[in-house]
Structure 1
Amino acid sequence: MSRGDFSKLIKLRLTFLVTFSASISFIIAVKANGGNTWGSLYSTTMWLMWIKLVIGGFLVTSAANCFNEVIEVKLDRLMKRTMDRPMPAGRMTTGQGLVLGMGMGIIGTYLLGSLNLLTGLLSVFSILLYAFAYTPLKRKSPIAVFVGAIPGALPALIGYVAGQPHGRIDEIALILFAIQFIWQFVHFWAIAWVLDDDYKLAGFRLLPTGERDKASAVITFIFAIIMVPVSLLPTFYGHGGYYVGGVSLVMSLIFLYQAFNLLRTLEIKAARTLMFGSFYYLPVVQLMFLFDFIVKA
């Protein structure tokens, strides 16, 4: 299998974004805990544990994507964006994909579980929910997006729990999860709007109403509105200052404006702009939360 095939198999860009989210949350947790778990930000032990989280998170996410493609191999052959993946293209068998996915899942879960038990359990839960609940629901109901948003937001929670003593979930962990959870809806509906024609070839129903219509755009816009106060939770609860509050507000208003343009025009071009805006939104807000948290502390 070539490097390009492996990249397509594990959905490299998605896996990178997921791992990035977990790694930022881990550092926030270490800082919030005063270095009592793995040492301060200047500790070699802390960075070794961070590397373990990154590798484990990368493998677990790759495994979930791999299982998803094993299940959907026949459907992937129907869509232009997925037909060249190694399994639907015939360059890898589903048996090989299953073995590779299980191997990555076991190693990744072991690495995350070695940080603390709850981190390992959450990683297993995310694989099961993504591969065996979200994946089959995609052809049955738009509710799949809600189900998929849970494993989609779990990396932020997993990263934070990995940096806490005994896998503790606190207010900051829930805030990180909430931001990524609500972001998922706007992000995924923008993608679904752009790729709706391709998705329909495989029978996927992912837009809120199943169609590129006014109602789907309204629901997307409503979640973009919800994103504004949710993004300000770190400042509201005193875990961040004006830096993260200001940047989060600006990013959320830009996000809202892009969603409004989709509502106004109902055009694929507007959905594509919103989609690319979502790619920037999450890492910028998370990095500012980390930066503000460090400066404030």
Structure 2
Amino acid sequence: MSSTPSSIKTHSLISDFKEITKMRLSISVVFSSLTGYLLGVDVIDIKTLILLSIGGYFMVGASNAFNQIIEKDLDVLMDRTKNRPIPAGRMSVNTAFIIASIFTLLGIIVLYVINPRTAMFGAISIFIYTCVYTPLKTKTPLSVFVGAIPGAIPFMLGWVAATNNFGIEPGVLFMWQFFWQFPHFWAIGWFLFDDYKKGGFFMLPTGKRDKGTAVQIIMYTVWTIIISIVPAFGFTGKLFLSPLAAIVVFLFGLVMLYYAILLFKKMTALAAKQLMLASVSYITLIQIIYVLDKFLR
């Protein structure tokens, strides 16, 4: 049986909605926020978990929609992005702006219900991502540094949602995810270098796929590993990691470091893609280990 025009249109609308809000990315960010919440909370509150999930998705979805509005003329130049709803002509800028605006408003309201600090950090994240990071992407490689700030907020946001407090614990969570983003996004910038170049984006620290960039990827990977085991030494407040968990976390970090060194040796797009995949697996597994270590010890 063939699909009816209305069902095809409905599928297209749903697909475009997923694309404009970058659903998969948004869900992964929400996962990070929920992990931070579980690490900070004493007694799990299902209502707060649901609010954090919904509010977090709204905030990330809004940032992604605003980003695609701003970059619509550049997205059409790149193979990776030319089929997005706006450059492909399936969604108007006005429609995307309405979605982004509604998501921003609802996100702040939902996070405010949890507590004002959570809403504040969510709003800061949207502002930096949209108004600072996005315009800088075509100007300077330092855009990755700026983009790492809103990218690291969700993990910290979860802790703030749980405790209504900002201290050393969410600060460590922020720093860990902050440093992790450099090898992750530079790996993406490496294997998509030619496509990014079409859009005029400067993502790599040296502007080139060279040894200088590869060395910096290794350096930031090392910093990520160091920060990941800091809670095991007992001076990060309520954020604590048992010795066994710290060893496991460290070993997973070495796996990521292996792929960073492999990129330095091979200098290929394939090696960069392997590092990107390793970095995604690393951040997910380590967050799970942190949570399991808290509730099982």
TM-score (ref. length: structure 2): 0.93
The one-letter code of the counterpart of 1:241 is S
Q: Deviations over 1:106-145 (max 9, x none)?
A: 1011000111111111111000100110000000000000
Inter-partner Cα distance in structure 2 for 1:232 and 1:141: 32
Deviations 1:191-230 (A, max 9, x none): 1101110000010000011111111111111111112211
Determine whether 1:208 maps to 2:205. yes
| Partner in structure 1 of residue 118 of structure 2 | 119
Q: 1:232 aligns to what SS in structure 2?
A: helix
Q: Structure 1 residues 243 and 47 mapped into 2: Cα distance closer, same or farther (>3 Å)?
A: farther
Q: What one-letter code is carried by the residue in structure 2 that aligns with 1:274?
A: L
Percent of matched pairs sharing the same residue:
38
Counterpart position of 2:19: 8
Q: State how far apart, in whole Å, the 2-side matches of 1:243 and 1:130 are.
A: 37
1:280 corresponds to: 281
The 1-side partners of 2:124 and 2:137 are apart by: 19
Q: Answer with 11-20 or 53-62: which moved more.
A: 11-20
State how far apart, in whole Å, the 2-side matches of 1:13 and 1:211 are.
29
| AA in 2 matched with 1:159 | G
Deviation at 1:95, TM superposition (A): 0.9
Shift of 1:148: 0.2
Q: In 2, distance between residues paired with 1:100 and 1:8?
A: 12
Equivalent residue, structure 2, for 1:159: 158
Contact in 2 for aligned 1:24/1:287 (Cα 8 Å):
yes
Name the amino acid aligned to 1:47.
I
For the Cα contact (< 8 Å) 1:134–1:144, is it kept in 2? yes
Give the Å deviation of 1:279: 1.0
Per-residue CA distance 1:50-77 (angstroms, 9 max, x = gap): 1010000001100000000000000000
State how far apart, in whole Å, the 1-side matches of 2:26 and 2:280 are: 13
Q: Which residue in the other structure is 2:229 paired with?
A: 232
- Size of the aligned set, in residue pairs, is 282
- Structure 2 matches for 1:58-207, cutoff 5 A? 58-164=57-163, 167-207=164-204
Residue type of the partner of 2:277?
A: F
* 1:37 alignment partner in structure 2: none
Question: Residue 35 of structure 1 aligns with which residue?
Answer: none
Amino acid at match of 2:61: S
Q: Which runs of 5 or more residues in structure 1 are unaligned?
A: 32-39
Deviation of residue 243 (structure 1)? 3.6
Displacement after TM superposition at 1:293 (Å): 1.3
Q: Per-residue deviation at 1:171?
A: 2.1
Aligned mates of 2:142, 2:231 — CA distance in 1: 28
Letter in 2 for 1:295: L
Following TM superposition, by how much is the alpha carbon of 1:247 offset from its aligned partner in structure 2, in angstroms? 1.8
- Distance of 1:99 and 1:9 partners within structure 2: 12
For the aligned residue pairs, the C-alpha RMSD in angstroms reads: 1.0
**CA deviation string 1:170-204 (max 9, x = no partner):** 22211111111110101100011011100000100
**Partner SS for 2:241:** coil
**Aligned residue for 2:55?**
56
Q: Which amino acid aligns with 1:266?
A: M
Q: Which amino acid aligns with 1:4?
A: S
Matched, 1:22 2:33: yes
What's the CA shift for 1:237? 2.6
Distance 2:232 2:294 in 1: 10
Q: Where in structure 2 are there 5+ consecutive unaligned residues?
A: 1-11
How many angstroms does 1:79 deviate by?
Answer: 0.5
**Structure 2 equivalent of residue 36 of structure 1:** none
Runs of 4+ more than 4 Å apart? none
Q: In 2, are the aligned partners of 1:234 and 1:289 still within 8 Å (CA)?
A: no
Measured in 2, the distance between the counterparts of 1:93 and 1:248 equals: 45
